[in-house]
Amino acid sequence: MREFASNVRLWFAPEEVREEGRTPDYRFSLANERTFLAWLRTALALIGGGFAVDQFLPALGRGWRVGLALALLAAGVLCALRAVNHWVRCERAMRRGEDLPVSRFPAVMSLVVAVVAVAMVVVVLTGWEG
């Protein structure tokens, strides 16, 4: 938890990350940034999907619609926060010459998206209208 709090501070002060260790090959830093941007695109897609479920499925019962929309919106928020945290952790590891950090987040995110997708398949197949 202490490391997470330290990383949150670095989200808003990336120049402090540069003070650690040695500057890595710029290609690795740019690859880390592209990965960060890919996670942000994923977060935006999840957020957009949450709004789409809420706005374009009025025939779906309110509880289901709101539940699915909130699941997608929450996944988008978590994805965006995880993106910046992962960027900082990877940049620090590269500068320190350490192994890149491992994460269970992609597996957890995959499971959340899969559960929401299965729920949507059930809704589509049953043609349920609330």
> Can you list the alpha helix ranges (DSSP code H) found in the chain?
2-11, 14-17, 26-56, 62-96, 105-126
Average pLDDT, the chain: 88
Q: What is the pLDDT of residues 104-120, one digit of tens each?
A: 988 988 998 898 889 88
pTM: 0.80
Distance CA 66, CA 110 (A): 20
Q: Cα separation of 10 and 33, whole Å?
A: 15
Integer Rg of the chain from CA:
19
109 token code pair: 């995110």
| 4-44 pLDDT tens trace | 777 788 888 878 888 888 999 999 999 999 999 999 999 99
Cα angle 1, 79, 52 (rounded to 5 degrees) comes to 145
The tokens for 19 are: 């003070």
- Contact predicate 51/69, CB 8 Å: yes
| Structure-block tokens of residue 22 | 């040695």
